[in-house]
Structure formats: C-alpha cells, structure tokens
A and B are shown apart, each in its own frame.
Chain A
Amino acid sequence: DARVTQTPRDKVTEMGQEVTMRCQPILGHNTVFWYRQTMMQGLELLAYFRNRAPLDDSGMPKDRFSAEMPDATLATLKIQPSEPRDSAVYFCASGDGGANEQFFGPGTRLTVL
C-alpha cells in the first residue's frame, strides 16, 4: 500500500531554532507539494515541485522558508529561524503530474514556543 511518509510527526521547538521536515513521496510520483494548515487559514500551498524542479513557491515566506528535493525520494522543508506564527500542521502530498488525485502524508505538527 503506497503512502507518502513524513517525519517528524510532531515537533516542538523554541523560537529562533531551525526546523527541518522531511517527506518521502510515493514511488513513481513526479509532483510533490508542501501545504500548511491552520484553523484560521485552512490549507495553503507553500511550494511544489515537478520532476524535482521547483515550479511555484509563491506561497512560501522566502526569508525564512526553503524547500528542496535532493533526490526523487526525498523532499525537505526548512524553517530558519522559526517563529511562533509558524505553528501549524505541514502536509506533504505527491501526485502523478496529471489533474488527478494528490496523496497526502500524515503531516508534521509543528509547535514553536
């Protein structure tokens, strides 16, 4: 049963610390998405990749957030330095590149104190 995996599942950190979240997309999927979900804003697209190349990161605060795909099996989202307003659930999703279903990972619940 192919699934998107994310680590860590939960992260509590202090303001100013670096946070790195990792995602393993479903094997064979060529598009990867990072979303952030909060009660107030719902699901927001932060960045997405096709064939490991960044296509759109307009939803991401550039000064502190960065997203990369070092290889086809790993996507990372980094926040440096973290702030309390970054507290949210961060989801990674992957797809086959068509106008079809995106499969979400279980999310990383981030709390910045």
Chain B
Amino acid sequence: RKEVEQDPGPFNVPEGATVAFNCTYSNSASQSFFWYRQDCRKEPKLLMSVYSSGNEDGRFTAQLNRASQYISLLIRDSKLSDSATYLCVVNDLTGGGNKLTFGTGTQLKVEL
C-alpha cells in the first residue's frame, strides 16, 4: 500500500464548478500536511498547508481528519487556470527528519 494515495483522475469540470479531492495517508505519525500544485512540465509548488482545524485561502479549502487519516481539498468557482495536477503531501518529522512523501497526484481539467 502506498504511503499517500490519491485518485489520479482526471476530473473534468466546467468553469465555475466546485470540485473536491481526497487523499489518504498510512503513517499515523505524520505531523504536517500540504497540497502542492504542479502544472504540466513544471515543478511542484506549494498551494497551501493543511491544519487540523481546517483552513481556507480564497476559493480553496483544505481539511484534515486525523482519525480517518485523510486530507481533502475543495476548490470553489473553479477557473480555467486551476487546471493542473494537485499533489497531496505528508511530512514525517520523526527522527529529526523532514521528509515529504508525495501522492501521485490528481489531475484537474477545467473546461469552458
């Protein structure tokens, strides 16, 4: 079983739609969580951190459920420019390390 699992998609949605991605992680000792965005043939970039209380950044809302070990990302009023691959990322800080484990990503295509 992979440490971080995501539905690869693609999710094809019309502009203006709301779309949600989920991700599950296997290491219960994981301590911090992120969503990264990766455009085609580009490097991953941090979209937002995910906090236990849930957090929002404009049209984007991230939530964490530690008991069920899943993380979600909600995108409201999706734009064409949101088309990208969204990577769920988990940080394991045990042993003084700082290792990020990436999911394989969920592809989003926003269409006219």
Contact = CB atoms under 8 A, between A and B. Distances in A.
Interface residues of A, number: 22
Nearest to A3: B43
B61 interface: no
Interface stretch (B15-23, B52-60, B70-78, B98-106): B98-106
Contacts, number: 43
Nearest to A45: B99
A73 to B, nearest CB: 19
The residue in A35, A41, A99, A106 that gathers the most chain B C-beta atoms within 10 A of its C-beta is A99
A101 interface: yes
B93 interface: yes
A104 B39 CA distance: 13
Interface residues of B, number: 20
A97 B105 CA distance: 25
A45 B91 CA distance: 12
21 contacts: A41-B104, A42-B104, A43-B87, A45-B100, A45-B101, A48-B98, A55-B97, A56-B97, A91-B43, A91-B44, A97-B98, A99-B31, A99-B32, A99-B93, A101-B46, A104-B43, A104-B44, A105-B43, A106-B42, A106-B43, A107-B43
Interface of B: 31-32, 34, 42-46, 87, 91, 93, 97-105
B101 to A, nearest CB: 7
